[in-house]
Each structure stands twice: as C-alpha cells, then as structure tokens.
Structure 1
Amino acid sequence: MAAVDVLLPTYNRRESLLTTLAGLAGQSFSDLRVVVADQSTEPAEDSPVARAMERVIRARGGSVEWHHRETLLGIAEQRDFLLNKATAPYVLYLDDDIFMEPWVLERLVRTLEAEACGFVGAFPAGLTFAGDVRPEQQVVEPWEGPVRPEVVEPGTPEWERWNLHRAANVYHAAGGLRDGEIVRYKVAWVAACILYDREKLLEVGGFSFWESLPRYPRGEEILVQNLLMRRYGGCAILPSGTYSNQVETTVAAPGGTVDEDGDALKLLPEMVARYAPPAT
C-alpha cells in the first residue's frame, strides 16, 4: 500500500493532464499511487505521453491506475468515486490542470504528519498574473503554534481569506521567504491541490453527499474542508510550489454556469449538525 493516493479526476483536458502527470513523475516523494478517474470522450491513457509518464512514475516506485468512466454525474460524484478507491492513509486531491514543483508532495506530507490536522493545501498560482501585484489581497494569517480546529462561517471576516487564493497572490506573498522556509497559514478553503487525512475525511462523510447536488455543482471541497476545520483544523503552505495551467474549466455547465441550486454550502447546516456539532 502506498503512503499517498493521488486522486485525479479529469474530463477532456488531455494536454493539461499531461503536465500534471509530468509534475507527479518528478516528485521527490515517490511512495504514491495515482488513481485517475477519466470521463474524457477519448481516454487519456491512450496517449503515448501519458503512458510515458506512467512508466516514469512506476520506475520511481509509484503506480498508476486508470478508470475510464462514461457516465457523467458531476465533479462531486467523481471525488466520491475516487475516495472509495483509496486505501492510503493520505489522499491528495489534484486537479488536472496543476503543475507541481518536485518538493510539493513531500512538504505536504511532512506538514500533515506534524500537525495531525484534517488537510493541508498548496494553492496554485496563475502566472499570467505575475505582473499583477495586489497587496490588498495578499493578507497571510500564519498559524502560531500548532494548527487547531476553528469555525469559519460564510460571510465572516475569516471567510475573506479566500482572496489570497486569486490570480498570482500566493506567488507574490511567498516572494520574501527564505530558501526552505515554510509558512503554514489559515484558510477559508483551498482548491486544486489538497492533501487530506483519509480517515478524517471519511469521518465527516467524504463526498457521499453528491446525490443531494445537481449535475453541475460547486463548492463540494469547500463543504468538506469547512467540516474538517471545525473538528481537526486545516491549513495551506507558502510557498505553494504549484501552478495553474489556466485552461478553461470542464466541470461547469455549457457557458461556464452552474445549476442555481448547485452550491454545496447549502448543505452546511445539516452537515455541521451531523458531523461537526459544536462542543457542549
């Protein structure tokens, strides 16, 4: 059994997926199993380059498992499918448009081991915004001492932490760090590259709520991370070492929209009551 299962949903973004696989092939932490849930019209595993990256991952001690899935039920269902395939103590949910520097997974694992929290994220920078410096959005709240449980409600000042995860803000915010320095910071949520403690994720229900959402949902990871923060805490790291390919999304409805009732946060009150009730 691998130490980390990399759970990678993909849909019709073969070129972008190849850069993601290349980043995984070069990770210094190689005790991993990559599980790809592919809903593409043409299976990505048929690509000679994808097969080449698979051979590199295997040669360095990892493994790759492909699942071609024709039925489209939405990204929350894809995440649930992948979690049901996982067996490792840690699972990395990785989007199919992310390139990782070689040290990223190792630092995520070491941080999660040290903090014993619910998740640790590495939010990707969009380097088309490298020249767009936004100091007002680069507020970093470091964790002083260990990561602790916290309640972050929508509409509160803490919710505005999400602004750090826009454009190239994380790239700019990390600019003054010393070589090798890692900052653990407080989040509202993290997208695209998140390492979870699998057992803790299952304890808050994982993504089993997907059937309560329409075909084109949003916020499914925001929901589970909010629950995990309430029970175990969560954080992200700077520098993140991850970069977005900034390609067009394939998880939204045609035209880039989502169903009006597709926001997973509508489930937050009932999920809190079920999985993370306030301490009495």
Structure 2
Amino acid sequence: MAEACKLSHKIPDADACRQRWNQRQADHDSQAKRVVDLRQEQTKLLPQIALAKQHFDRSVDHVTNIEKARDARESTWYGARRLQDDVERLAELFETQEAGIKRLRELGTKLETERERLGAFRDKQARVFGRMSEKFDPIVRRLVGHGAKGRITLSGNGLDLSVDMGGDRRTAAIDSLKVLAFDLAAMCVSIEGATRVPSFLLHDSPREADLGLSIYGRLFDIVQELERVGGTPLFQYIVTTTTAPPTEFRERPYLQLKLHGDPPAQRLLGVDL
C-alpha cells in the first residue's frame, strides 16, 4: 500500500485458488493419461501405417501399370485404325488401278485400231500425194527448167512443197512458184476426175514481180498446152493480174475483162467498192 499497489488491498481467496489448482491438476492428469493413450494408439497404428503405405505404393504402381497399358492399348488401337484406313485406301487404289488397266487396254485397242485406220489413210493419202507429185514435178520443170525437181509431201505440220534446184530453194519467188505449181497440179488431177472438186482454178493477181518475167510467161504457156488436151477444154482457168500477159493472150478469147481504177465506171462491178 505504501507503494500504491492497487491489488494490495485485495486478499486472494485461498479456497478458490486451491480448487482451481486441483482442477488444473486433474485436467493435467487427464491430459497426461490421454497423451499416454494416444502414444499407445500411435504405437499400434505404426504397423497399420506401414502396411497402408505399402498398399499405397502397390496401388500407385498398379495405377501406373494400368495407365501404361491404357496408353499402349490406345496406341495399338490408333495403329490398327490407321492400318484399317490404309487397307481401305489400298482397296480403292486397287480398284482405281484395275479401272486404269481396263481403260488402258481399251485405249490400247482403240489406238491399234486408229493406227490401222491412220495407216490406211496415210497409204491412201500417199497415193493421192504421189499422184499430185506426178503432176507437180513436170509443172515445176516446165516453169523453171529441166534441172529442177518438185515434190509434195504430207508432214505433221501440213503440206510440204519443195523445189530442188541444186538444193532445196526457199525464197519469196520460189514460194510463189510452189503455190502456182501446186494449184495447177490440183487442177490437172481434177481434170482426170480424181478429186471431188470441179476442174476450176482462179489465181488472184500473180505478178511478174513475184515470179520473174520468164516464169510468168511460161505460166500462160502451160495453161494453153493443157487447153489443147482432149480437143474441147476440160477446165476453166481465170487469172486476175496487174501485169500484162504475153502478147498472144491480150486479145479474146483469152482476155475477157479489162478493168481500171478510174473512172468508176471501169471498175469491178462498175462501182467504188
């Protein structure tokens, strides 16, 4: 009290303290007994825990094996599925191959038929062009001289007209000559009745400048010689040209029509086309 303790005037209740102490002692003994019991229970549970851990480890191994088996089964299943798809695809390819082989055989048969047909056609055409060459060659000789040779062949690109004068000549004048000689040869074959076209020929404006004056004059001489074969003329031949023909062909019956650019009345059809 001298030091102002605020509890010094409160005297504790000894009985109450003793009761609390006893209660605490009883609780302590109870808890100690419980601890002993728990330790005894722990001792009993240790083997069970060990067994449970072993069971757990075995279960983990079992689950791992199951998962591996599942993965292996899935892999096997997917592999089998792929094999099934491959088998189905292979079956389709076999069918396609069989169809292709069948189609190939059909095409082979058709090709052989077409080859035979083409061979017959070529033989026929060879005879036709051989006959044309029989006319083409002498006409070329008559136009340019006896040292020349003319030939007609059928290639993959069409008709091939060649004039050999110490070598195959290919100039603008020779090209014009080839066309004129071929047309005259075709007309000669028509005269013989070996074609399905009439024995009529129209040459549109061959000129002396395209052929040379001597060859241009021989063109008319050849047609005049053909006109004398058989008495009555067997063909009709028209030449439209801006170059005057040889003198003997400038009068009737050879010259049938003479046109001028001016005046308009002397143009073709009498009008300005």
| TM-score tier (shorter) | under 0.3
Greater strand share, structure number: 1
TM-score where L is the length of structure 2: 0.21
Considering Cα pairs closer than 8 Å and 6+ residues apart, tell me whether 1 or 2 has the greater RCO.
Answer: 1
